[in-house]
Structure 1
């Protein structure tokens, strides 16, 4: 066994610097210097050396870390990063040779990449990186040298190898030159290297880049899956240009807006997608289907709309039944059609669709409020809904004295979220959170003056 006390004394960042070679490693039947240990292992064969590497890593893993200072943790991370990079380089050579033999297919796998994915517990992308680096080994001597001396990481080399693979296999490309790729790798992070590499690739093979991006666009998909509880699960893949379009559309809507907006980034992205879809429907931006403009349709009883106890849930197309709170929010600013049903549920009479907030009233409301009235929110009027202070289904009037503009998110906060809005004498709107354990006392405003009243 190796002596842990002596292993601990090494400066791992120096990669067993020869200046520390006087320190002793005990094991292998004798006391040896580092130089003697390495020379001995070199005579033992690859399998023995690999086994000892695993033993060393297990030994390091078992050492007590409680007394280490931050600098030691940092040094350990850097050293282990070098181990990861050099291991990746070694694995890539084996992967390339294994791929040439086609043995993995004989072993029952679909491909070498598939075998590596399962047997080495790697994701598909990482397995492909090993194959790319291994197959391009001869074309990347300077890159491999930089990887060996720690100037770049294996992830840098994998990106360069991917582009080398594309260029060397393209009939339209200039001869591959690793110099611009390596220069970018030495000066940039892994994520930034993709950016510079695309420019270098395009200079060498513009047709190849166009073909790759065309293929990426052909792989686009968006899968919508319904859960048993009505939850919609979304999964997809988009090429870079399409992704930029989606991000550009969502980014302004996904910013925190209004006081107390503590939603996480992913939550805001999801809300932004819903808001964007709703806005497209509200503004007739979606093409008509036949002669009908696409819209969300909700069917409800008057009792549900009034929020009475014992009323059934609302019915919404493409959704499981929805709560009365959601029905009331949607009905705040919508078109309503009265339908009278007989005892056998047959339609006895149906009225015309009537807009709850007429065009003239909405224009006046937009001119007065200009944007969402939630404190601190400036979502423009065109992205906001008319919220009834006292819901029209409960006797509230549809006029300026009983309406304010609220954006999609804050309209939800008031109805489904349980927040209340309080209107001060100077027309300021104060948001009051629901009385739950989710909101600490500091969220609640001080006692209001008598000239303030609740608006929702």
Structure 2
């Protein structure tokens, strides 16, 4: 039951405040004095504690959801209200459409993760009360309880409880993989429509994703596809790789398969699609490009070494500031802390260099010839402002979102209608979902510093801060400059870890 609207005595309020201030640690035994048997027993006790905490977390999430009803959302006829593709099924009945975003900020995770946790908590309460009770008592671990919740979230409470009653007694003795398989077997027998709904939901959420690999300098490109399509695609890739191997390619078969996959995606034969030009952003520190340091760079937001950056630039002849065929070349100038000073093109930079300062001799002048674009009186940002903001932000600036910059809006942090200037210090990139949240959801606060640092505060009072990619956090210095020494690891600042993996732009 939510505490909103209830009356608490001053003693109760004081007690709650005191408990909320307690340290987030619990008593721990000194590991060094424990026997092997005692360490094993303590590990088992820890698993019970984690299960009980998971149940408590679910209860807190549901309580926060009750405090965020959909009565706070804009009406269906309100400008910007969800319609058509922007009106998906309600995540939690009766709960605000913006709840998952608030929960994500509270938990300091992505919105998809927060939404998944909320849906799982809802399933425990509505569909699997016995599982939730076992979790609360520490009789069932969090991983196995989550398996049941994830499989049974789309079926009716009656069907879910039938499956639960069959599996819960033996759940602790089954592996998670076997428990999932058994739950699906029973669900297919009792409610095949729920399995189809689960598959259709997975297809709606499917996407192509890229993320860094655990192998240095590599990245993973993955797509969620129907199982039959994956099987067909893999068979094709494997056959082409096997043919190359039979023709004498000496490389490992896995490397050949990866190259075949890349070629099929980047140069599909007879695809019949309109021509496109992919724009890939390569960022690097200038001294790394020149070979004077080993500061890392990135390509498409994925970290790569300085040597890899120089290899890429040689391949596109960018060291000579030549625009690659079918693409574009832009430069971003930053200060030593990674703050963006200006976004320009090679042609503009050459013109500035030729023109110089009009007011002072070159030998004595330190006037900034390139700087942030000036503000404009119009609502729509100028082309120079758009280029600056896109270069600075590189994606949605909402905490843990990171939607690609090509899918974002240029939002006035202080609304233009409320006197907010169309200025780079008041503009940031927000994806459409978080743009709608900022505009329509009640109780949120967005504040941006002059350097582009964004502070987002939820209606529940939690604030998260995001800095433009490549800007060093306060108090952290970048890696020591100078040429790399293979015999000596890079030195780090004594005040903390190394600077962000995402370096400032070139």
TM-score normalised by L of structure 2: 0.36
Structure with larger Rg: 1
TM-score normalised by L of structure 1: 0.39
Name the one with the larger helix percent: 1
